Structure 1
Amino acid sequence: MVALVKTVAYLGLEARSVEVQCQVAPGLPRFAIVGLPDKAVSESRERVQSALAAMGLALPPKRITINLSPADLPKDGSHYDLPIALALLAAMGVTDAEQLTDWIAVGELALDGRIVASPGVLLAALHASEAEAGLMCPAAQGAEAKWASGVPVCAARDLVGLLNHLKGTALLPEPERGAIERPAPVADLKQVRGQETAKRALEIAAAGGHNMFPLLT
């Protein structure tokens, strides 16, 4: 069978839809990822396999193929770990593939099965809101993901907890929206009257990342 899980690819400040397709078929044992993956995505095989082993699961002795569609869109980043693992678990029959159709998944996997933070969760949440889908993400980024209004967020600490949530045996709480911390007040050049030449020199030094020590000597 072929199991499908939705995720995203980040292109600057835009998130594009990506479908993770997993097929487990008879043949010589192998685990291949295709669809223009970069080095981080290709290494996902080792992280996913180790995370499943930490759960007491072994890969079936079959030909496992992961396709990241569309195949002509470059894929980079470690956030593909979670959707790849979910697609593989669905293809193995460990979880119900139908439950995953309404979710977009992002997150990196640790070797012990923990779901750790990865960049771009807010972009993924905004994309999920536009697609009217929920978002599965690391627990550490649940508060960030909730800033996208109207998006159901399933924020899990590890793969076991996420699977138990999908099975209904131990539901995960909905994360709270994170609070914004106001930055501490700092000195402002607007408070300085006159001294236009000195202020201009400081602005140029700050814009170019230059050392201001020569300006003070």
Structure 2
Amino acid sequence: MVALVRTVAYLGLEARGVEVQCSVAPGLPKFNIVGLADKAVGESKERVRAALSSMGLALPPKRITINLSPADLPKEGSHYDLPIALALLAAMGVTDAEQLGDWIAVGELALDARIVPSPGVLLAAIHAGAEEVGLICPKGQGAEARWASEVPVCAAPDLASLLNHLKGTQRLPDPEPGVVENQAVAADLKQVKGQETAKRALEIAAAGGHNLLPLFP
């Protein structure tokens, strides 16, 4: 059986769609991740294995292959943990594979099956809005994702509660949109570049504990 889960790859300030394909087939037990994955993604199988073990689930004694498609697109980061785990659970028959087709999933897994924040959820939310699908993300980033998009956002604290939510046995609360705080604009000394005389004056003032009186034209 092959199960599919959608996620994203981050390329600068752009998120591109990635399909996580999981195949569980007869053969010598092995867990492979292919599709131009970096070291952080390759280590995902150990985090997924430990997370499932903490939930009382064991990997089937079969040949498990995870393909991150398209294979020529570089995959970097730990946010692939959650979609890989969901694809594997769908292939094992633990969760509904068809239901996962309506979601994009991002998030790092802790060894105790908690879903912890990972960089880039804002880009993932914008991409989910463009694709008109929901977003599954860590609970700590739910407000950020909800602020960026009007699509459904499922912010889960751990893998077990996420599975229960998908099955309908538990209802995770909808995250509230985050509030953007306006910061006061003020001069910043780190903006002083070059100008050796000015930099020397700042060093002397800092060393002697003197005050500064900035004058702006």
The answer to whether the superposition gives a TM-score over 0.5 is: yes
In the other structure, the counterpart of 2:172 is 172
Which residue of structure 2 lines up, in the alignment, with residue 27 of structure 1?
27
1:81-139 deviation line (CA, Å, top 9, x unaligned)? 00000000000000000110010000000000000000000100000000010000000
Question: Where do 4+ consecutive residues of structure 1 move more than 3 Å?
Answer: 210-213
Matched, 1:59 2:59: yes
In the comparison of the two structures, how many residue pairs are matched? Answer: 203
Shift of 1:181: 2.1
Instruction: State how 1:106-185 maps to structure 2 within 5 Å.
Output: 106-184=106-184
Match of 1:154, SS state, is strand
1:135 maps to a residue whose letter is: L
Query: In structure 2, how many angstroms separate the alpha carbons of the residues matched to 1:27 and 1:6?
Result: 26
CA distance in 2, matches of 1:181, 1:46: 39
Q: Which residue of 1 aligns with 2:98?
A: 98
1:185 CA drift (Å): 5.8
Structure 2 unaligned segments of length 5 or more: list them: 205-217
> Letter of the aligned partner of 2:192 in structure 1?
A
In the alignment, what sits opposite 1:8? 8
- Would you say the 8 A contact 2:192–2:199 is kept in 1? no
Question: Is 1:214–2:191 an aligned residue pair?
Answer: no
Q: Write out per-residue CA displacement over residues 162-202 of structure 1, whole angstroms, 9 at most, x where no aligned residue.
A: 0000000011111000112232464x49xxxxxxxxxxxx6
Amino acid at match of 2:63: R
Q: How far apart are the structure 2 equivalents of 1:175 and 1:69?
A: 30
Letter in 2 for 1:206: V
| Residue identity in the other structure for 1:181 | E
2:143 partner letter: A
Identity %: 74
Q: CA deviation at 1:214?
A: 1.3
2-structure distance, mates of 1:211, 1:55: 62
Q: 1:148 Cα deviation (Å)?
A: 2.4
- The CA distance in 1 between the partners of 2:192 and 2:99, in whole Å, is 51
Q: Which secondary structure state, in structure 1, belongs to the residue aligned with residue 174 of structure 2?
A: coil
TM-score (norm 1): 0.88
For normalisation by structure 2, the TM-score amounts to: 0.88
Cα contact 2:103–2:136 (8 A) shared by 1: yes
For residues 58 and 197 of structure 2, the distance between their equivalents in structure 1, rounded to whole angstroms, comes to 56
How many Å apart are 1:215 and its aligned residue? 2.4
